[in-house]
A and B are shown apart, each in its own frame.
Chain A
Amino acid sequence: MSTALEQIEQQIAKLSSKAVKKNTGSIRAIADGVAKIDGLSDVMYNEMVQFPGGAIGIALNLEEDEVGCVVLGDVAQLKEGDEVTTTGKLLSVPVGRELLGRAVDALGRPVDGKGPIEAKESYPVERIAPGIIERKSVSQPLFTGIMAIDSMIPIGRGQRELIIGDRGTGKTTIAIDTIINQANINKVGLASGDPKFRPVYSIYVGIGQKNSNIVRTMSALEAAGALQFTIVVAAAAADNPANQYLAPYSGAAMGEWFMENGMDALIVYDDLSKHAVAYRQISLILKRPSGREAYPGDVFYLHSRLLERAARLDGKGSLTALPIIETLAGDVSAYIPTNVISITDGQIFLETDLFNQGIRPAVSVGLSVSRVGSAAQIKATKQVGGKLKGELAQFRELAAFAQFGSDLDPKTKAQLERGGRIVELFKQPAFSPSAIELQVAVLFAMQKGFFDAIELKKVVEAAVSLRSFFTTRKDALLTEVRTKAALDKDLEAKLQAACEEWKASYAA
């Protein structure tokens, strides 16, 4: 009996003293957040390596006799000759519901001072996008709450829609409005107890942003009660370029968890221009060959592999991506904008001129498009806003001509009047997304000519009054529009009657 115990003890001793094999190297040079390492002969591409002092790195360049690693963390502590070891792991970030309401860095570590995150799972930062067989076409709507977008450039769950424009044209505001609108819809849907309701969780990835801007965004989300449904991934301008390069992929991994687990998620990359700049910096320091505008040859792949991860999966959930690109002087034909335009399923183009004219959101109807979203648009919006894009485009053309001549025929005058009213109706203040049923009601009123008699300058005021009339007095009708999602004769009659009631009260 005792021999048996001894044998077991020996076996335990053998196992517990088993040598652990590590592959090591030493830092030969370190500069600008990139370390050149001797050794590491077993390292794999994109493998996580461990530096002394807790800093980690990613092996990006495997050369004949050295390894180029980007360092994530404080490079100031590292020096030449320090030992580096391989980990045998790909860089992973925590994922799951535990991250909702939190702000994390590119590695998923909390940065909001609200304590540790007890995530149960982690996903690799770099993952291969879902293949053709796993995907399903986009057919469910994702409402932004912005009337100009939901009616003319609709977005569907699983779509990639680019938000592009110069600085200060309201790109981030559109993204934040969309996140707030998802939170508003989630609250209504979850309160209704409808088992078929699918909430949309949001991920906001701030890349190269000022810390103050990220704080402002978080405050806006918190004030609107949207932070509880949102994860903020922050790689601010002060973070090293490696973190800025990784942040969107980390955010995508967090979004993929929702998608893989049968939920819907929305991810905002704010913005991919700065992401490309961070990657250019890393590539130049790694001495990779540079191409146009000094970007490396794989800058297209940098964004295509990221945006391809947004998808709608058959039998599972979806991940919708809203990448943001900042243009210089409205130049959409620059390198990075054209790349991302070609990858995405459409773009929302914001114009500085419109913004300065007070047309906010400054969506340029002519240049904006949604290639797959119309399949996801609800019937009610199609019924009331199907022809809006054409009408607005005609209006812009006529308005340009009308500047040169004073004598206009009555038909042209009517078109101009109508176009001007549509433009006014689409004005919407920041951080106040409108529910889709309200949008349908306002557009219905516009189509039926309820705004025709109102002075152009007072259209915005009238629209506000109409919205408050519907929300305060016609809540049941709005619920019916939302649940039916299409206007039948009965519903149209009810809407007509409600609009007439409003008009009588508004005129009075």
Chain B
Amino acid sequence: MASHAKAAHQLARQLFQLSVVDGAVATERVGGVLEYVERHAVANPVMVLKAYQRLVATEIAKGVARVEHAGAVSDSLLAAIASAMTKTYRRPVTATAEARPELLAGLRVHVGDDIYESSVAGQLAALAAAG
């Protein structure tokens, strides 16, 4: 079982490497990979595709700044965040807005594994943890 999972993981990683062009996931390459998996008798296809999906999702998340906000967010602010993140991560980063009233005020920006916390709810949580 463990060796099956390992083999599936390895194949998923190889397929993922094939899907990346110039540091970004290319949609047409992903289509090609899916076609390959469908046509060829790949062992444990569900396991391979799940691992592949996880790798692709992680990679895509690195190129998107998910801006959670309470209150209004202007397009210019989103553009400023996108350009700042593009500079920080040295790769093209786009910004998407997501309304989260429970933040009370301020912003929370997710880029890949990183979170930039600048919300009132976050500060209150930090204060509560410190106390």
Query: Hey, which chain A residues are within 8 Å of B116, CB to CB?
Result: 19-22
Contact of A65 among B55, B107, B114 (CB under 8 A): B55
B55 to chain A, nearest CB (A): 7
Cα of A18 to Cα of B126 in the assembled complex, Å: 14
> At the interface, yes or no: B115 with Cβ under 8 Å from chain A?
yes
What's the Cα separation between A65 and B12 when bound, in Å?
Answer: 12
CA distance A226 to B83 in the complex (A): 64
| A290 interface contact, C-beta 8 A | no
Residues of B within 8 A of A21 (CB): 114-117
Contact A20 B117 (CB under 8 A): yes
Task: State whether B115 touches A24 (Cβ < 8 A).
Answer: yes
Q: Quick one: which of B9, B113, B122, B126 contacts A24, CB cutoff 8 A?
A: B113
Please tell me which stretch of A38-46, A449-457, A458-466 contacts chain B, meaning at least 4 of its Cβ atoms lie within 8 angstroms of it.
A38-46
For B117, what are the chain A residues with a Cβ–Cβ distance below 8 Å? 19-22
Asked whether B113 lies within 8 Å of A40 as measured between CB atoms, the reply is: yes
Most buried by B among A24, A39, A65: A65
Taking the nearest CB of chain A, how far is it from the CB of B82, in angstroms?
15
A409–B122 CA distance with the chains assembled, in angstroms = 89
List B4-21 residues whose CB lies under 8 Å from chain A: 9, 13
Q: How large is the interface on A (under 10, 10 to 19, 20 to 34, 35 or more residues)?
A: 10 to 19
For A19, A40, A85, the residue with the greatest tally of chain B CB atoms inside 10 Å of its CB is A19
Chain A residues with CB below 8 A from B122, complex form: 20
Annotate B103-131 by CB proximity to A: 1 below 8 A, 0 otherwise: 00011010011111110001000100000
Q: Which residues of A contact B87 (CB under 8 A)?
A: none
Judge whether B118 and A19 touch: CB under 8 Å.
yes
Is B54 part of the contact surface with A, judged by Cβ < 8 Å? yes
Q: Counting CB contacts under 8 A, is A412 at the interface?
A: no
Q: How far does the alpha carbon of A24 sit from the alpha carbon of B66 in the complex, in Å?
A: 14
Shortest Cβ distance from A43 into B: residue: B113
User: In the complex the two chains form, what is the Cα distance from A24 to B111 in whole Å?
Assistant: 10
Determine the chain A residues whose CB is within 8 A of the CB of B106 once the complex forms: 17
Which residues on the B side are within 8 Å of A17 (C-beta)?
106, 118
Our count of residue pairs bridging A and B at CB distance below 8 angstroms stands at 45
Interface size on B, residues (CB 8 A): 17
Residues of A within 8 A of B54 (CB): 38, 65
CA distance A64 to B54 in the complex (A): 13
Q: Which residue from chain A places its CB closest to the CB of B116 in the assembled complex? A: A19
A41: nearest residue on chain B (CB-CB)? Answer: B113
Chain B residues with Cβ below 8 Å from A22 are 114-117
A433 on interface, CB distance cutoff 8 Å: no
Residues 6-56 (chain A) with a chain B CB within 8 angstroms: 17-25, 38-42
Known contacts A38-B54, A65-B55: A19-B109 contact under CB 8 Å: yes
Q: Are the CB atoms of B113 and A42 closer together than 8 Å? A: yes
1/0 contact string of B54-72 vs chain A (CB within 8 Å): 1100100000000000000
Point out the residues of chain B lying under 8 angstroms from A40, CB to CB: 113
Shortest Cβ distance from residue A288 to the other chain B in the assembled complex, whole angstroms: 14
In the assembled complex, the Cα of A27 lies from the Cα of B91 at a distance in Å of 27
Decide: B126 and A41 in contact? CB cutoff 8 A. no
> Which residue, of B9, B107, B113, has the highest number of chain A Cβ atoms within 10 A?
B113
| Interchain CA distance A64-B14 in the complex, whole Å | 13
B112 in contact with A41 (CB, 8 Å): yes
Given contacts A17-B106, A18-B118, A65-B55, contact A23 B113 (CB under 8 A): yes
- Least Cβ–Cβ distance between B80 and chain A, in angstroms: 13
CB distance from B104 to the nearest CB of A (A): 13
Q: How far apart sit A25 and B113, CA to CA, in the bound complex (Å)? A: 6
* A residues in contact with B109, CB < 8 Å: 19
Contacting residues, chain B, for A85 (C-beta < 8 A):
115
Complex Cα distance A64/B9, Å? 11
Residue on B nearest A28 in the bound complex, by CB: B54
**What's the least CB distance linking A111 to chain B, in Å?**
22
Task: State the Cβ distance, A56 to closest chain B Cβ, in Å.
Answer: 12
CA distance A48 to B127 in the complex (A): 20
Q: Which residues of chain B have C-beta atoms less than 8 A from A64's C-beta? A: 13
Given contact pairs A17-B106, A38-B54, A65-B55, A23 touches B118 in the complex (Cβ within 8 A): no
Residue of A nearest to B107 (CB): A19
Q: How far is the CA of A16 from the CA of B23 in the complex (A)?
A: 35
Question: Which residue of B is nearest A16, CB measured?
Answer: B123
**Hey, which chain B residues are within 8 Å of A42, CB to CB?**
113-114
Also in contact, A20 and B112, with CB within 8 A (given A38-B54, A65-B55): no
Show the binding face of B for A, using Cβ within 8 Å.
9, 13, 54-55, 58, 106-107, 109, 112-118, 122, 126
Instruction: List A residues at the B interface (Cβ < 8 Å).
Output: 17-25, 38-42, 64-65, 85
- What 10 new A-B contacts, CB under 8 Å, besides A41-B112, A65-B9? A17-B118, A18-B118, A19-B107, A19-B116, A20-B122, A21-B115, A23-B114, A24-B114, A38-B54, A85-B115
List 23 contacting pairs A-B, 8 Å CB cutoff, sorted by A.
Answer: A17-B118, A18-B118, A19-B107, A19-B109, A19-B117, A20-B116, A20-B122, A21-B115, A21-B117, A22-B115, A22-B116, A22-B117, A23-B113, A23-B114, A38-B58, A39-B112, A39-B113, A40-B113, A41-B113, A42-B114, A65-B54, A65-B55, A85-B115
Q: Closest 9 interchain pairs by CB? A: A19-B118, A19-B116, A39-B113, A22-B115, A41-B113, A20-B117, A23-B113, A24-B115, A24-B113
